[in-house]
Amino acid sequence: MTDTSYDRAPGDRLTSAAAEEGMPSGLLIYTTGLALAVILTATSFWVANTLLLWTPGIPLGLVVLAIAQMGVHLVFFLHITTGPDNTNNVLALAFGILIVFLVVVGSLWIMTNLNDNMTPPPELMNLHMQH
């Protein structure tokens, strides 16, 4: 095996040497990814609808399952790895995560301060009632 075959995402095009070594085919890789995605989705629905789990831990469990689901999609379907030939893909993914993080944090920050900024000061409320 060469060093490049160690960091190959499932479903990446195989060289003839890798194909001869018995690496799995693309159909098997996509089927495995689909099975994992379905299992994670079904588990998420079960976690959200069961009474068997500790209620305050359910949101954390759903976050963990969502991150696992993203990992399955990145590896099995988008073929993102840390190999030297995937540097641009990893950088684009990191930039996308940064943008999503900024949008989510900014939206949450705006929403938490929205009520404070929208309610009129008590002086104006009392002024309206006196007339």
Q: pLDDT, tens digit, for every residue of 99-127? A: 999 999 999 998 888 877 777 777 777 76
CA dihedral 100, 104, 106, 110 (to 10 degrees): 150
68 has a pLDDT exceeding 60: yes
76 has a pLDDT exceeding 70: yes
**Local confidence band at 92 (pLDDT 50, 70, 90 cut-offs):** confident
Q: Does the global pTM surpass 0.85?
A: no
- 3-state DSSP helix/strand/coil percent for the chain, to nearest 5? 75, 0, 25
Residue 43 vs residue 8, higher pLDDT: 43
